Amino acid sequence: MRNFWANRRVIVTGGSGFLGRRIVSQLHELNASFVFAPRREEFDLRINQDAERMIDRSRPDLIIHLAAVVGGIGANRKNPAGFFYDNLMMGVQLFDLAYRKGVEKFVVIGTVCSYPKFTPIPFQEENLWDGYPEETNAPYGLAKKMLIVQSDCYRRQYNFNSICLIPTNLYGPGDNFDPETSHVIPAIIMKCLDAIEQDKEEIVLWGSGKPTREFLYVDDCVEGILLGAERYDESSPVNLGAGREIAIEELAGMIMKLAGYRGRIRWDTAMPDGQPRRFVDPRRASRFGFKAKTSLEEGLAKTIDWYRNNQER
C-alpha cells in the first residue's frame, strides 16, 4: 500500500507544526510526488479566498488537515471564542472547497476533546454524541467535531471521500514548550528541569493529579494518520490511541524520575483538573493496521532528552 503516495500531490495544513513536520517528512520518504505545507503568513485558512488560492496553486489529490489553534487548559480558558471560531472556519471552509475543487480525499485530524465530559472508559467512537465536552475545552472540541458531521453529510449527498481520525493526547520531541500554551507533558518536563537548574525543592502543578489521560507518541500518530489516509474510506470517526491510561500524578512521578528531579510536587487544587478520565478504544484503527509501538517510558525519555539538549532555559 505504500505505493499509494507515489503519484499523489498532498497538502498538509499545519505542516510546519509539531505533528505536521513529521507528516511532511514521512510523505517525502514515501515518495509523494508533491507535498505542500502552507504557511499562515501566505494563506490564512480562516479566509475563504486564501484557502481557495492555496488549492488552486497546489492542485492536490489529497488534503491532510492538521492546522488548528490549540493549547492547554489555561489557553482554552483565556480564549474560548478564538478557539471556536478559528478552528471552525479553517475546517468547514477548506472541507467544502476540497469537494468543490475535485480533491480526491480529505483527511480530518480531530481531537479527543470532542468527547463528552463523562464518557465511559474506554471512549468508543459512538460515544461522541452522548453529551457535552468538558467545559474548559468544549469550544475547541465542538469546532473540530463539526467536521465529523460535515464528513458524513458530504459523503451522503455528494459521495465525497473524507475520513476523521481522532488522536489521543500527543507528545514527543519538538513538542510545544511554551509555558502559556503547552500541554501537560511538556509543562511538567519544563518545571522539573527548571527546578533542577534553579535548585528548587518543589514544583507546582495544576489540579489534584487524580484525572487520567492517555498519551500517544508523535511518530506513532504519524503512522496512524498515513495508514488511515491510505486504507480507510468511511466517514465514521476513528480513534488513534496508545493503549495505556495513566493518572496525572503517576505521570508526574515518572517524569520526575526520568528527569532526575528529587524534589516534591505541590498540587494547586484551586486550578481545574479538566476532563476526569481519557482513554480511547483503539480497535477500529486496528482494521487498517494501526497499533502504537512506543511505550510511555521510552517516549518520555526521548522527549526529556530532546528538551534538555535543544531548549534554552
Q: Where are the beta strands (DSSP E) in the chain?
A: 9-13, 34-36, 62-65, 105-109, 162-167, 169-171, 202-206, 212-213, 215-217, 238-240, 246-247, 264-268
Would you state the cell numbers that stand for residue 210, as one nine-digit string?
Answer: 487524580
Q: For residues 253 and 24, is the Cβ–Cβ distance under 8 A?
A: no
Sign of the dihedral defined by the CA atoms of residues 239, 244, 247, 249, in that order: negative
Give the Cα-Cα-Cα angle 128, 131, 134 (nearest 5 degrees).
Answer: 90
Q: Which residues contact 192 (CB under 8 A, 6 or more apart)?
A: 203, 255, 256, 259, 261
Among the listed residues 115, 140, 171, 307, the single catalytic one is: 140
Distance CA 123, CA 126 (A): 8
* Spatial separation of the C-alpha atoms in residues 297 and 173, rounded to whole Å: 13
Using CA atoms, how far apart are residues 243 and 98, in angstroms rounded to an integer? 33
What one-letter code names the amino acid at 98? A
Active site residue 140: yes
Residues assigned a catalytic role: 140
